[in-house]
Each structure stands twice: as C-alpha cells, then as structure tokens.
Amino acid sequence: MDDAQDPNRRDFLFLATGAAAGVGAAFLAWPFIAQMNPDRAALALASTEVDLSQIPEGQVVTIKWRGKPVFVWNRSKEQVEEAKQVKLEQLVDRVARNDNLPPDAPATDENRAAQGKENWLVVVGVCTHLGCVPISNAGDFGGWFCPCHGSHYDSAGRVRQGPAPQNLQVPTYAFESDTKIKIG
C-alpha cells in the first residue's frame, strides 16, 4: 500500500511521532521543574515552635520563621491596657492584619493579641513600608521603630506614624500549651 494513498496511516504516524516527542520532552523537563520545589530544610521551616516559659514579662524575643523575623512579646498589664485605650480613629491602618481572623477585622488590641492570653503578641518583624526590620521597645508609641524611614508602631504592632501603610502582620499561630506556641 502506498503512503500517498492512505492518509489514515500518515495521520497516525504523525500523531504518534508528536506524542512520543511530547512524552520525551516531559521526561527531559521533569528534573528541571522538580528542582524548583522547596528542599527539606525549607519545608521544615513551614512551622516553628516557641517556648514561652523562657520569655519574661516585658521582653520581646525575635525568632526566624520562613526566613523572616517574628517578634514574640510578653507584654505587661500596663502595656496591654495602654494598647486597649487606643481608638480606631487614631490609627493609620484600621484593619487587624491578623491571619487568624477574617481579613476585615478591626485593628483593636483584642484582634491583634492572642485570644484569651492578651499579654502575648506575635507579629512578623518586617516594616510594611519597604521591608526593614523595626527596633523593639522603641519609637513614640512604646512598640517598634523602623530606623530606615521612621515608621512608629505601638505595643500592638499597629502603625501610628510614618510612611508604613499597614500594621505589622500577625502570622497564623496557635497555643500548643500554656507555655508553647506553634507559628505557621
């Protein structure tokens, strides 16, 4: 039988060759695509545990989570009360930015601190202006001060003054026990 007279055979060979080339290209490309996945070390950083028993009242501890600094603050009763007195109208950003709450939750101290354990505040330590790391226990509002461009955050991590457009982010976290939290 002549190939010119049998278009079905020619179409089949064309499709079979194209399919084989596609499968071969996928096998060749797979190692290059797979190497872009995070390695075991990065996956291990997906969550981290923090021992709260080592943090005295009034102390801020910085830990590393997913390559970012996270501030864990054991606030005093006075600091908690001061943060609760701030009215939403006084804030630059009135949204809580708490990954544990709905995205439109207001930026009250209750929505920024740990539920039922309001002395604990956990925030990502990256300024929302240009990504610098703020200094703890500094600034005009008793929280953090960003030395790069002058943003001031209060003791609930809410931006109060300066160019930062948003409050410090509260990451997803949960209390594993009274003395341990798991971030992420």
- Three-class HEC string of 107-123: CCHHHHCECCECCEEEE
Q: Are residues 30 and 47 in the same domain?
A: no
At residue 35 the predicted structure's pLDDT band, cuts being 50, 70 and 90, is confident
Tokens 């341990």 correspond to 180
What residues make up the domain containing 27?
3-34
Strand partners, 161: 152
Q: In degrees to the nearest 10, what's the CA dihedral of 105, 109, 113, 116?
A: -100
CATH number at residue 143: 2.102.10.10
Q: What is the mean pLDDT of residues 127-143?
A: 86
Lookup: tokens for 86: 């701030």
Query: How high is the mean pLDDT of the chain?
Result: 87
3-class DSSP state of 183: strand
Residue 21 pLDDT exceeds 60: yes
Residue 1 pLDDT exceeds 70: no
At residue 43 the predicted structure's pLDDT band, cuts being 50, 70 and 90, is low
Residue 7 pLDDT exceeds 80: no
Instruction: Return the active site residues.
Output: 149
Q: Are residues 79 and 115 in the same domain?
A: yes
